[in-house]
Chain A
């Protein structure tokens, strides 16, 4: 079945450093890859997404890269701040001819040390 793997499971960085989270997916039909941030006790919130017709997307300090051939995609956070501390989930889905289930990775707990 469909599967999304995510590494590392925990990540600790100094404030101002960069953080990178990597994911792989199994279903080659997947073409939509959202990233969610979940703070403790709160709901997941979309922070950035990418579609398979694009190799990279950037939004201020956050960027996502996609390698469809290798079925890898990564989240890059630059100039990390303490408020970036949260659990980050990558996910894979299929869009747009039909809605499909969104498969989430197991999550990465990011701690930014002031």
Chain B
């Protein structure tokens, strides 16, 4: 089991551009959450996907959107990039609801730099 995987590892964009980040959850997991981690700070919850729908959302603008596919993989899209969007974007997956285990497993992250 490869665990949670994310692509790409690093990405450099310029202001105003759009970016798509990808995440494949750990085998057996169906829920995917996305976090933004600025340098020196804790992860900030962006949103969570379950059954291909956004179930919870943090305090992020509509420029941040996502998608979950039938195979449970997920994408994070950010439009109209700002310098402040530069951060490590983490994806985390967890087991189906009802298993009694809500531990989140994190991927290695995508380092986004906006110039």
Instruction: Spell out A's residues near B (CB within 8 Å).
Output: 1, 4, 6, 32, 34, 36, 42-46, 49, 89, 91, 93, 95-96, 98-107
Chain A proximity mask over B33-75: 1 for CB below 8 Å, otherwise 0: 1010000111111001010000111110000000000000000
Instruction: Spell out B's residues near A (CB within 8 Å).
Output: 31, 33, 35, 40-45, 48, 50, 55-59, 90, 94, 97-98, 100, 102-109
User: Of A1, A32, A43, A100, which is within 8 A of B107 by CB?
Assistant: A43
**In the A-B complex, the 6 residue pairs with the closest CB atoms:** A104-B42, A101-B45, A43-B106, A101-B56, A104-B43, A106-B42
What are 21 residue pairs bridging A and B, where the CB atoms are less than 8 Å apart in the complex?
A4-B42, A34-B103, A36-B106, A43-B90, A43-B106, A43-B108, A44-B43, A44-B90, A46-B104, A96-B97, A99-B50, A99-B97, A101-B33, A101-B48, A101-B57, A102-B45, A102-B104, A104-B35, A104-B42, A105-B42, A107-B41
In the complex, the answer to whether A1 meets B42 with C-beta atoms within 8 Å is no
* Sample of 20 further A-B pairs with CB below 8 A, known A101-B56, A105-B42: A43-B106, A43-B108, A43-B109, A44-B43, A46-B103, A46-B104, A89-B42, A91-B42, A93-B102, A96-B97, A96-B100, A96-B102, A98-B97, A99-B97, A101-B48, A103-B45, A104-B35, A104-B42, A106-B41, A107-B41
Give the A-B pair count, Cβ closer than 8 A: 61
